[in-house]
Amino acid sequence: MEFELSDEERAFQEAARRFGDRVLRTHERTIDSEGRIPPEVLSSMAELGLLAMPVPEAYGGMGATAVLTEIAAEEIGRGDLSMATAVFFLLEAGWGWLLSRHGTEDAKREILPPVCAGKAFLGIATTEPTGGSDLAAMRTRSRRDGAEFVLHGEKSFVSGVEEAKLLGGGHLTLSKSEESGFNFLYVPTRTPGISTQRFQNMGRMGISTGGLTYADARVPARYLLGTEGRGFELALEGFTVARTFVSAACVGAAERALETGMAYIRERTAFGQPLGKFEGIQFELVDLWTQVEAVKWQCRRAAWLLDAYTLKGDVSHRSEVERAVASVKLTAPPIAFECIKRVMMWFGAAGYTKDAGLELGLRGIMSYLVGAEGGLNIMRLILGRELLGREFLAYK
Ligand SMILES: Cc1cc2nc3c(=O)[nH]c(=O)nc-3n(C[C@H](O)[C@H](O)[C@H](O)COP(=O)(O)OP(=O)(O)OC[C@H]3O[C@@H](n4cnc5c(N)ncnc54)[C@H](O)[C@@H]3O)c2cc1C
C-alpha cells in the first residue's frame, strides 16, 4: 500500500496550492462580494489544466486520475473558502467526466473543449421545485421527436444557470420519458423555450444558483448520454464522482480554517499567555485536526476506488465505492463547518467580522449541509442500504 504521492502528483499539488494561495486567496473576497469568478481566474485555471481535469486529452482535458482531481479539489477549497470556485471546479470535473464517458462522439467534440478551456459552463440539473432527494418523483418530461428530444418542466436550485447563459454551455438534465424511463440529456441554456431565474443565496456567491423552465425546448438527440431509459443510473454514477470532489474541497477548507486558527492562538494572549497554551483551546484544535486528518484519508481512498473501478467502468465493487463516497460526503462538510465555526470562536469578537475572512466559508459550506450534491440524510440512506440491504430502504 502506497500513501506517498508520486513526483508528478506532488508537483501538481504544489502548483495547485500556489494557484490557490496567489490567485484564489487574492480574489476570494471579490468573488464573494461581486457574485462572479473573474474571467482571468477561469483562464488561469484552464491554463493549469484545472478545468474538467478527468476529461481525456482528446476532448481538451488532461485525462487526470480521480486521485489527482481530488488533490486539486482540496487546494481549490483551501484557496477560495467561499466554495464558489470549488463548485465550478467540481461540476466541470465530475459532470465533464460523465459526459466524456457516456456522451456521443459528436457531443463530446462539440461540448467539452470549450468547457475545459473555461469558455463554456457545464453543470447538472436534477432538482425540481417539488424536491431533489426523491429524484424518481421528478416531473420534467422529455419525448423523442425524430432527431430531437423535446423537454417540458422545471428545475430549481441549479448551480451555474447565469454562467451557462453568459459564457455559453448548459446542464446535464435528468427527465422522464413516458415511453422509456429516464433520459439524461445535455441541454444548452440558450436553447429556445428555456427561461431562467436567479435565486438569492446566502453563500458561495461567486456562482449563481437558479431555476430553469423548459417550455417544449428542443435539443438534438446526439446530446443524450448513454441510451434512452438509462438516465437515472448515469446521474447516480456522476454523483458518485462529483461527491468525492465536493468532500475534498471541504477538507481543504477545514485545513485552511485550522491553519488560520493555529496562527491566531499562537499570538493572541489572554490571562497572560497565548490562547494556544490553554488546554480548553489546544484540545479542541487537536480533536478537530484528528477528525480532518481521518476524513482526508477517507476522501483519498474514495478517489482511489474511483480510479480502480468507476472510472474504468468496472461495477464489480459498486457497494464498496458507494460506501466510501457516501461516508465521506456525510463527514467532510460537517467537519469543515465545525472547524470554521470553532476558529471563529477562538477569534472572539474578531471572528464575527468579515476581516477574519472566515464567515464566507461558513456560508459556503452550509450549502453542502442543506443539500447540494445530496443531503446528509441521503448519504445515510445510501449507507443504510449498502450495510443492511435494499429491503431496509425506508422508501420505494
Ligand atoms: C447552493 C446549492 C446548489 C445546488 N446546486 C444544484 C445543481 O447544480 N443541480 C441540481 O440539480 N441541484 C442542485 N442543488 C439542489 C440539491 O441537489 C438539493 O438541495 C438536494 O438534492 C435536496 O433536495 P431538496 O433541497 O429539494 O430537499 P428535499 O428533498 O425536500 O429534502 C429536505 C430535507 O429532508 C431530508 N430528507 C429527504 N428525504 C429523506 C428521507 N427519506 N429520510 C430522511 N431525511 C430525508 C433531506 O436530506 C433534506 O435535508 C443545489 C442546492 C444548493 C443548496
* Per-residue model confidence as pLDDT tens digits over 253-283: 999 999 999 999 999 999 999 999 999 999 9
pLDDT band at 82 (very low <50, low <70, confident <90, very high): very high
Q: Which atom of ligand 1 is nearest to the CA of 128?
A: 26
**Cβ of 208 below 6 Å from ligand 1:** no
- The cell 429524484 sits on which residue? 135
- Half-sphere exposure (CA, 13 Å, Cβ side) for 1? 4
The pLDDT of residue 393 is 78
The CA distance from 177 to 200, in Å, is: 32
Contact status, residue 249 vs residue 77, Cβ threshold 8 Å: yes
Q: How far is the CA of 233 from the centre of ligand 1 (A)?
A: 18
State the average pLDDT for the chain.
Answer: 97
- Mean pLDDT for 226-249 is 97
**Cβ of 82 below 6 Å from ligand 1:** no
DSSP state of 308: H
Tell whether the model's pLDDT for residue 394 goes beyond 80: no
**Cβ of 370 below 6 Å from ligand 1:** yes
**Cβ of 378 below 6 Å from ligand 1:** yes
The pLDDT of residue 396 is 58
Taking the complete model, does pTM exceed 0.95, yes or no?
yes
Which distant-in-sequence residues (6+ apart) come within 8 Å of 210 by Cβ?
Answer: 156, 157, 158, 161, 162, 196, 197, 198, 199
- Mean pLDDT for 215-238 is 97
Q: How far is the CA of 357 from the centre of ligand 1 (A)?
A: 28
Q: Which atom of ligand 1 is nearest to the CA of 394?
A: 41
The pLDDT of residue 391 is 86
Domains of the chain: residue spans and CATH: 7-121 (1.10.540.10), 122-223 (2.40.110.10), 231-392 (1.20.140.10)
**Cβ of 129 below 6 Å from ligand 1:** no
Q: Which atom of ligand 1 is nearest to the CA of 378?
A: 47
**Torsion of Cα atoms, 343 then 344 then 348 then 350, to 10°:** 120
The CA distance from 207 to 188, in Å, is: 18
**Cβ of 137 below 6 Å from ligand 1:** no
**Cβ of 254 below 6 Å from ligand 1:** no
* Per-residue model confidence as pLDDT tens digits over 341-366: 999 999 999 999 999 999 999 999 99
Q: Which atom of ligand 1 is nearest to the CA of 127?
A: 11
- Mean pLDDT for 163-184 is 96
**Cβ of 384 below 6 Å from ligand 1:** no
List, as one string, the DSSP characters of 178-239. Answer: TTTEEEEEEEETTSTTEEEEE---SS-TTS-EEEEEEEEEEEEGGGB-SSTBBHHHHHHHHH
Q: Which of 133, 134, 201 to mutate to test the pocket of ligand 1 (most atoms within 8 A of CB)?
A: 133
